[in-house]
Structure formats: C-alpha cells, structure tokens
C-alpha cells in the first residue's frame, strides 16, 4: 500500500469466516457490491467466503462495514479481514461457481426458523398460499436434510422433488431471495403433508389436514406432528385430560413438558420473559427457553415446577395451526417413548403413534439428520444451552489447538460426541442416554454420518476414564491410539475451549457423577488445571452411596446416608416426616452396608442435593434424571440471606449443614427457606474455596462446569460473588455445562496430550 499508484483503484481480497454458507451469503455480497458499484467476484471456499473487489481503501473499509452490519440474518460472521493483492482487471461482479469441497469442509448450517418474508409469501404468492414448506436463503431446513457436501439440492433429501419452472426461476435469479435456496419449494412441486387418523383413514387434502388436526387438538386430542428433526406429540396445553393422556402414552410421569405458544404476547401472559429471554425465544434457532411461570399451568404440564419450557412457532405449519384455531398454547414434546430417541421416519411414527394418538401428521420429505428441540436458560442475562440440537448443531467451536483427526466419544448420559477438523471442534447434536439400545444405535450411526459429511478420518480416539461407559468401550472398535480424560477435567476443558483459554485456571466442576482417579465417584471438584493436566485441590467430603447407581432413582437413600453420617444410629428417632415415612427395615439394611464399608463413595454435588431434597420431603423417589436437585431449586424462596455452616478441611464437610437442616425441619421452618439456606451454604463453600485456592496461586480466572451449574440460583450467585471478589468467570454458554459438553473437553485435552507426545 506504499508508493505511488497511477490507478484509481486497487484490488482487495476480503475473507469472511464463520457460518456463511447455505445462508444466502454470496448473493448478499453480489447485491452489496453491485449496489456500491464495485467490480469483482465472490466464491465459496472451504473455510468461508472469499471476495475480490476493485476499489480504493476507503471503499473497501465501507464494504467490510456493510458486510458486518447487514449480513443475512441466518449467517454468523466470525471474522472479516481484507488485504491488498496484485491488481486484477475485473468487469462487473461475478459469483464464481463453488469449487469441489476438499477435505477441509466448511460449516454446515443448522436448521433455521421460517422468516417473516416467507410467512408473508404464504399470504400473497399464488403458488404458496398457506403452503407449509415455504423457505428461502434466510430460512428453512438445513442440517436435517443434508446428506453430503457441498450443500447442493442433489445432496439433500429435497433431491426427490423436481423444481417447477416458477421455483427454478427464483432459484436461478440472483436478485431473488430464493437464489440457490436448495430446499426451495411451492405447492406445485414441493413436499406435502399427509394425515393418518387412528381409525385407519387418511387425508391428503392440505386444507382438510390442517382443519382436522386443529379440530382434534381443540377437542382434547393428541396429534403426532412431524417437525424438522423428528416427530413431536402435540395437544392443547390447557386440557388436563389431553396432557395426562399424553404423559401416559409417553411413559413419562414426572418430567415437565415443553409448551409452544402462539406468539410472544400470549406467552407473556403465562410466563416471565426478560429482554434476553425474548431474544432467545425469537431467535432463528427457536429453542425451548426455561422461563419463570407467571400463571400456574396445569400440574400435568410442568409437573409442579416453578418454570415452564416455552417456545415459539418455527415451522410454517405451526403458524397455520395457531392462525386457524383458538389454541393459545400446545404441549409440544419429543415423539418418543420413554428414553428412546425421537422418531424420524414416517413408517415408525405411524406404527408407534397410529393407534395411541388421534392422528399422525407426516410429510413426504425425509429427515436425514435427527434433531431434538434445543433447551436454553438465561442466567445473569446470558443464554446458556442445556440441550444443544436443532438450530445450534452442528455449528463448530473454533479452538486454538490442532484437533484434526481426533474423535471424542463423550459421556454416557446426555451424550454428544465431538470430531476435530483442523482447528474446528464439531460437537454433535444431543444424542442421549447410551444405555438405551435405540440411542446406542443412533450414536453409532451418527458418528458414521459425521465421518462422511465432514470428510472425517479419525486418527486418535479420546474417551472418559470410566472403563464401563459405553462411549469408552466404543473406542475398542478402532485400532487407534486412545487418550483417556478424567471426567471433570473434560468438563472444565470444555468451557476453556469455548473461551479460548490455554493457561492455568481454577476449575469448579460439579455434577452427579464422574469416574475419579482414586476409584471413587467424583463430582464436586476444585481443580487447578490447564488443558493438559489437572490437580484436584479440594472437593466435597465423600458420602457413602448405599445401593450404588440406585440412588439416582431413589434419593431417599442419600437422605439416609447423610443422616447416618451426621447423627449415627440414633437418626431414626428424629421427628421429621422423612423419618416417619421411612421404611425402617430398608434403612437398617442400608446402615449395615455402610458399616461394612461396602457402599461406593461419592463426592458428587448432585448426590448431596439428592439427599437434602429427600430429607425435606421434596423428592424421595425420582422419576427422571436430576429431578431431586431440580425440585429443591424449584422450591427455593428468593431473598433469604442466611446459610448453614460447613467445615473446610482436607475436604469440605456439610455435616453442620445437615444438622441445621434437621433442626429447621423439626422447628417448622418452611422447606422453601431451608432450600434457600442450603443453596446459600453451597454458594459460600464454593466461593470461599475458590478464593482460597486461587489467591494463594495468583490465579484470576475461574471456570465453572458440570450439570449442577444448570441450577440458576446457584450459578447466578456464585458468578456474582466471585466477580465481586475480582475474579473473571468463564461459564458454559453455547455448549452445555452438563455431560453434553464433555466431548468437546475430551477433544481439546486429547489434542494437548497428542501435541506433547503423551499417550
Ligand atoms: Zn424465508
Ligand atoms: Zn415450485
Ligand atoms: Fe458430568
């Protein structure tokens, strides 16, 4: 850029990185450049979009600013950089045809909620009036229909549909919103719905399908509806009878069900939504957002919790449903039985739901990649992803290490796996509990799909240290070097990877369970660690876990464990409802097992919460994962400042807190207050321990991870207080704090071990 140049303009190369393919980015650049009167070209590269323009420096700066400011809504720009290159003569502005994609592949766009323009087209375009598969470059299905790259109609499940001349015209017209929109479709050429009624009859007329589905739901019916990534079971959220029936047929008793509201104003009548919550609800990802309940919902919907899992319509059919009915909110829950993966094929849906639901609504476009609804919660003004699937996956996490060839197999519960491509970590969509055989098949199939889609050849496998995790055993399928990563180290590393941290930090990993170095179960870990290694500096005191894994479904066992440890044999004479309702014989067996020292030991924070939840009578038996801690949080009264005592020694003992809780219970202190005091105690313990550990070592950065941090009260207060003490906090945001995030941590630790030649 030095010296005199006789030309009025120069040539610049502008590189845009991030999620910029399959979202209408090249036509956007074309229109932008043409509008500014610039000549040049744009082309898709493996790692983004590359633009050449002829202009002067002032213009290129303006061009880059415009790219940032008016990028297509579904894109996500990570960086825009420009540099001068040797002068090129260029006429007009061209879109250069994509070169074949090599092994370095670019981001695959997640599915995107229908956009306002397309909703408008459903009212005005003659071939799309009420057409529920309308989409454009800014919206519509993506990941769920993609079989291979480059992203091209032929490589999606839209391949079966021949574009009509009108759609083809839009597809080929660079000035059109549907230019190169691969799933482009209209009523004349695109997918169609089909309704199977429980009496065996079928309806194919689109108008009658809509009317029938609505009529059924308005009259306490249940309809299985095909969504973007799988089937959902839907019914009127205000019909106790329908919701109760739906619960029964799903074989899901106590778990809250998600609700889709007709719009934000209806939603606001029933739930509290702050600014960020509204933003999340309305985002193109359209996740389920956990909100505080305003007007109480029927118990059948949210199972008595003080929150409601709320979402807004994201498919054109959802909009049609609300527009044409008096329904305000419908329960919309994954179409599966118990813990199986959500059903994706029409045949299985009809087979499974045909008789037990009132109707099954299918359509004839195949779902290739399964996705569930994603779940988020806003804590301290920031969106935290609890379940990462539709709308979020498979967006990669850009990491600072070379992770090429690494396959991280993840945990066993809430599994996601993670593959490494260059410096991108691609975390799979939520898979689920691998112990379920159908989920296991989903897991292995999805790994194969990722290998193909992302041109991924594993060279190293990274697993948990737990020898019995199915995801650990999966590594036996490969004749490749295996790195084993401690569960809680993986938790902390996962968050470090998201925040680009590569240094020594204090990590707090709290969850229900994870295999520890000493053969015990860990889960309240204060680590001083970097990406390669860790030191366990403190943890909650070990608790006997009578019955082993059975405690997960029977929190009362932890209640007995805590009382026995605190009060010895006399605990049975304590006059609280928990003891009065306790089966003394069973309790006696537990105590003897603990005496003999044959019960496993756990330091899991989740187990402590289980025990307290049982003692307070909130959850003695649990019907789903983490129900007891969730009930304890849900019962909590805000604004209570008192806490119980705890003892810091080699480990952190909550024995004094258990004494305090029992004392409060016997003197009639409300459970809501006891819950708050208990939470405050854990907050005190975490904050003080972090301070102690970090100050003596000069560490300023604190990483929080593990499923326990999905507890909003705990996380909110721990973050605030640690910030108040001058620490910088790095919590999980886009990647789950629960075991859904550990594959990313495994990957990054594996990369570091590989780099240092350790195995
Ligand atoms: Zn659109
Ligand atoms: Zn058409
Ligand atoms: Fe965990």
- Give the integer Cα–Cα distance in Å for 601 and 609: 15
DSSP 432: B
- Give the integer Cα–Cα distance in Å for 312 and 373: 11
Residue 276 CA, ligand 3 centroid: distance in Å: 27
Residue 619 CA, ligand 3 centroid: distance in Å: 21
694: nearest Cα among 506, 471, 434, 460: 506
**Residue 119: how many CA atoms within 13 Å on its side-chain side?**
13
- Give the integer Cα–Cα distance in Å for 631 and 354: 35
For helices 655-666 and 556-567, the axis angle rounded to 10 degrees is 100
Condensed to tens digits (0 to 9), the pLDDT of residues 243-295 reads 999 999 988 778 999 999 999 999 999 999 999 999 999 999 999 999 999 98
- Give the integer Cα–Cα distance in Å for 134 and 117: 10
Q: CATH 3.30.70.100 region(s) of the chain?
A: 10-95
Sign of CA dihedral 16, 21, 25, 26: positive
Condensed to tens digits (0 to 9), the pLDDT of residues 131-179 reads 999 999 999 999 999 999 878 899 999 999 999 999 999 999 988 999 9
Q: CATH 3.30.420.360 region(s) of the chain?
A: 375-508+517-540+735-755
Identify the pLDDT of residue 681: 98
In contact, 253 and 233? CB cutoff 8 Å:
no
Residue 675 CA, ligand 3 centroid: distance in Å: 23
- Give the integer Cα–Cα distance in Å for 505 and 507: 6
46 band by pLDDT with thresholds 50, 70 and 90: low
Q: What percent of the chain has pLDDT over 90?
A: 89
Q: Does domain 193-363 have CATH number 3.90.870.10?
A: yes
> Residue-wise over 64-80: b if at least 16 C-beta within 10 A, else e?
bebbeeebbebbbbeeb
Main-chain phi, psi angles of 278, to 5 degrees? -65, -40
131: nearest Cα among 321, 346, 317, 313: 317
Residue 169 CA, ligand 2 centroid: distance in Å: 9
Ligand having the closest approach to the CA of 166: 2
Residue 655 CA, ligand 2 centroid: distance in Å: 69
- Give the integer Cα–Cα distance in Å for 108 and 354: 34
In contact, 74 and 138? CB cutoff 8 Å:
yes
Pairing of strands 93-95, 76-85: unpaired
The mean predicted confidence, pLDDT, of the chain is 94
Q: Retrieve residue 127's tokens.
A: 């071939």
Pairing of strands 39-45, 93-95: parallel
Identify the pLDDT of residue 758: 66
Identify the pLDDT of residue 149: 81
Condensed to tens digits (0 to 9), the pLDDT of residues 392-420 reads 999 999 999 999 999 999 999 999 999 99
Residue 457 CA, ligand 3 centroid: distance in Å: 27
243: left (phi over 0), alpha (psi -120 to 50) or beta: alpha
Residue 166 CA, ligand 2 centroid: distance in Å: 6
Condensed to tens digits (0 to 9), the pLDDT of residues 63-120 reads 999 999 999 988 889 899 999 999 999 999 998 876 654 555 567 899 999 999 999 9
Q: Retrieve residue 17's tokens.
A: 């990185």
Residue 319 CA, ligand 1 centroid: distance in Å: 14
CA distances to 543, 546, 588, 600 from 595, in Å? 13, 11, 10, 12
Assigned CATH topology for domain 10-95: Alpha-Beta Plaits (3.30.70)
Report the DSSP beta bridge partners of residue 236: 330
Tell me which of 4-13, 63-72, 682-691 is least confident.
4-13
Q: CATH 3.90.870.30 region(s) of the chain?
A: 108-191
CATH number of 108-191: 3.90.870.30
Condensed to tens digits (0 to 9), the pLDDT of residues 462-517 reads 999 999 999 999 999 999 999 999 999 999 999 999 999 999 999 999 999 999 99
Residue 705 CA, ligand 3 centroid: distance in Å: 8
Residue 737 CA, ligand 3 centroid: distance in Å: 8
DSSP sequence for 616-650: TTS-SS-SSTTHHHHHHHHHPPTT-------EESS
Residue 109 CA, ligand 3 centroid: distance in Å: 28
Ligand having the closest approach to the CA of 161: 2
Identify the pLDDT of residue 19: 82
Residue 464 CA, ligand 3 centroid: distance in Å: 10
Q: Give me the mean pLDDT over the 713-731 stretch.
A: 98
Sign of CA dihedral 260, 261, 264, 270: negative
Residue 66 CA, ligand 2 centroid: distance in Å: 33
Q: CATH 3.90.870.10 region(s) of the chain?
A: 193-363
- Give the integer Cα–Cα distance in Å for 352 and 545: 38
Condensed to tens digits (0 to 9), the pLDDT of residues 568-615 reads 999 999 999 999 999 999 999 999 999 999 999 999 999 999 999 999
Residue 207 CA, ligand 2 centroid: distance in Å: 18
Query: What is the gyration radius of the CA atoms in the chain, in angstroms?
Result: 27
Residue 611 CA, ligand 2 centroid: distance in Å: 60
Ion ligand 1: residues, CB < 5 A: 115, 118, 136, 138-139
Ligand having the closest approach to the CA of 524: 3
Ligand having the closest approach to the CA of 113: 1
Identify the pLDDT of residue 95: 86
In contact, 371 and 393? CB cutoff 8 Å:
yes
Distance of CA 741 to the CA centre of its chain: 9
DSSP sequence for 350-415: HHHHTTTSSEEEEESS---S--PPPEEEEETTEEEEEE--TTTTTPPEE-SS--TTEEE---SSSB
Pure H helices in 229-325: 240-250, 264-270, 275-282, 299-302, 316-323
Assigned CATH topology for domain 375-508+517-540+735-755: Nucleotidyltransferase; domain 5 (3.30.420)
Ligand having the closest approach to the CA of 162: 2
In contact, 365 and 133? CB cutoff 8 Å:
yes
Peptide bond into 359 cis (omega under 30): no
Q: CATH 1.10.357.160 region(s) of the chain?
A: 543-602+604-687
Ion ligand 3: residues, CB < 5 A: 511, 514, 739
Ligand having the closest approach to the CA of 488: 3
Give the Cβ contact number of residue 569 at 10 Å: 10
Ligand having the closest approach to the CA of 134: 1
Residue 743 CA, ligand 3 centroid: distance in Å: 11
Residue 2: pLDDT above 60?
A: no
pTM, entire model: 0.95
Residue 110 CA, ligand 1 centroid: distance in Å: 14
Q: Retrieve residue 61's tokens.
A: 């700066």
Residue 446 CA, ligand 1 centroid: distance in Å: 28
Q: Three-state SS for 291?
A: strand
- Give the integer Cα–Cα distance in Å for 547 and 560: 11
Pairing of strands 288-293, 271-272: antiparallel
Residue 434: pLDDT above 90?
A: yes
CATH number of 543-602+604-687: 1.10.357.160
Instruction: Give Cβ neighbours of residue 691 (< 8 Å, ≥ 6 apart).
Output: 722, 725, 727
CA angle (607, 289, 325) in 5-degree steps: 130
Residue 453 CA, ligand 3 centroid: distance in Å: 28
Ligand having the closest approach to the CA of 74: 1
């Amino acid at each position: 850029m030095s010296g005199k140049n006789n030309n009025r303009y120069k040539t610049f190369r502008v590189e845009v990185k991030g999620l910029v393919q399959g979202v209408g980015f090249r036509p956007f650049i074309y229109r932008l450049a043409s509008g500014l009167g610039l000549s040049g070209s744009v082309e898709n590269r493996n790692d983004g979009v590359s633009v050449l323009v002829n202009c002067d420096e002032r213009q290129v700066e303006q061009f880059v600013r415009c790219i940032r400011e008016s990028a297509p809504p579904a894109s996500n720009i990570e960086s825009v950089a420009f540099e001068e290159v040797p002068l090129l003569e260029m006429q007009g502005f061209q879109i250069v045809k994509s070169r074949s994609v090599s092994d370095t592949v670019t981001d695959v766009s997640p599915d995107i909620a229908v956009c306002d323009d397309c909703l408008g087209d459903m009212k005005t375009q003659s071939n799309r009036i009420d057409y529920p598969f309308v989409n454009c470059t800014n919206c519509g299905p993506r990941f769920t229909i993609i079989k291979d790259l480059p992203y091209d109609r032929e490589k999606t499940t839209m391949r079966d549909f021949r574009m009509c001349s009108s759609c083809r015209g839009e597809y080929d017209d660079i000035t059109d919103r549907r230019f190169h929109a691969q799933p482009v479709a209209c009523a004349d050429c695109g997918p169609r719905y089909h309704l199977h009624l429980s009496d065996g009859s079928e309806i194919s007329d689109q108008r009658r399908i809509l009317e029938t589905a609505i009529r059924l739901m308005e009259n306490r019916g249940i309809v299985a509806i095909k969504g973007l990534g799988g089937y959902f079971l839907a019914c009127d959220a205000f019909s106790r009878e329908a919701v109760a029936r739906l619960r029964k047929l799903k074989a899901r008793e106590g778990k809250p069900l998600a609700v889709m509201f007709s719009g934000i104003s209806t939603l606001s009548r029933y739930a509290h939504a702050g600014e960020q919550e509204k933003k999340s609800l309305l985002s193109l990802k359209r996740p389920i957002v956990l909100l505080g309940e305003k007007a109480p919902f029927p118990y059948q919907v949210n199972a008595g919790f003080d929150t409601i899992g709320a979402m807004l319509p994201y498919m054109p059919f959802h909009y049609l449903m609300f527009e044409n009915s008096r329904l305000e909110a419908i329960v919309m829950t994954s179409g599966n039985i118990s813990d199986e993966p959500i059903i994706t094929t029409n045949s299985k849906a009809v087979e499974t739901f045909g008789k037990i639901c009132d109707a099954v609504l299918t359509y004839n476009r195949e779902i290739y990649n399964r996705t569930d609804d994603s779940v988020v919660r806003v804590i301290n003004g920031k969106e935290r992803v609890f379940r990462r699937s539709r709308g979020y996956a498979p967006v990669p996490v850009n990491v600072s290490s070379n992770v090429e060839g690494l396959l991280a197999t993840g945990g066993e519960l809430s599994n996601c796996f993670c593959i490494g491509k260059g410096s991108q970590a691609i975390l799979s969509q939520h898979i689920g509990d691998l112990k379920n055989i159908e989920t296991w098949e989903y897991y292995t199939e999805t790994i194969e799909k990722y290998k193909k889609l992302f041109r991924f050849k594993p060279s190293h496998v990274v697993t948990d240290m737990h020898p019995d995790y199915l995801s650990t055993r999966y590594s036996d399928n490969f004749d490749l070097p295996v790195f084993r990563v401690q569960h809680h180290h993986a938790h902390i590393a996962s968050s470090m990877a998201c925040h680009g941290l590569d240094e020594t930090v204090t990590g707090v990993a709290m969850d229900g369970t994870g295999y520890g170095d000493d053969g015990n179960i860990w889960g309240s870990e204060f680590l001083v660690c970097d990406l390669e290694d860790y030191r366990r500096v403190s943890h909650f005191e070990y608790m006997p876990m009578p019955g082993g894994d059975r405690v997960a479904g029977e929190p009362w066992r932890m209640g007995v464990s805590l009382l026995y440890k605190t009060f010895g044999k006399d605990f049975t004479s304590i006059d609280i409802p928990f003891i009065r309702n306790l089966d003394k014989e069973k309790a006696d067996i537990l105590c003897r097992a603990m005496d003999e020292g044959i019960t496993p030991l756990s330091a899991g924070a989740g187990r402590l919460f289980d025990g307290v939840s049982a003692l307070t009578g909130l959850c003695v038996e649990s019907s789903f994962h983490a129900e007891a801690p969730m009930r304890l949080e849900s019962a909590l009264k805000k604004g209570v400042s008192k806490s119980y005592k705890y003892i810091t020694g080699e480990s952190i003992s909550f024995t004094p807190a258990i004494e305090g809780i029992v004392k409060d219970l016997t003197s009639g202190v409300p459970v809501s207050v006891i819950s708050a005091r208990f939470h405050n105690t854990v907050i005190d313990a975490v904050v003080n321990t972090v301070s102690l550990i970090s100050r003596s070592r000069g560490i300023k950065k604190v990483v929080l991870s593990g499923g326990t941090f999905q507890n909003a009260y705990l996380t909110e207060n721990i973050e605030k207080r640690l910030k108040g003490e001058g620490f910088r906090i790095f919590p999980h945001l886009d990647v789950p704090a629960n075991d859904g995030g550990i594959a990313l941590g495994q990957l990054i630790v594996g990369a570091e071990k590989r780099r240092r030649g350790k195995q």
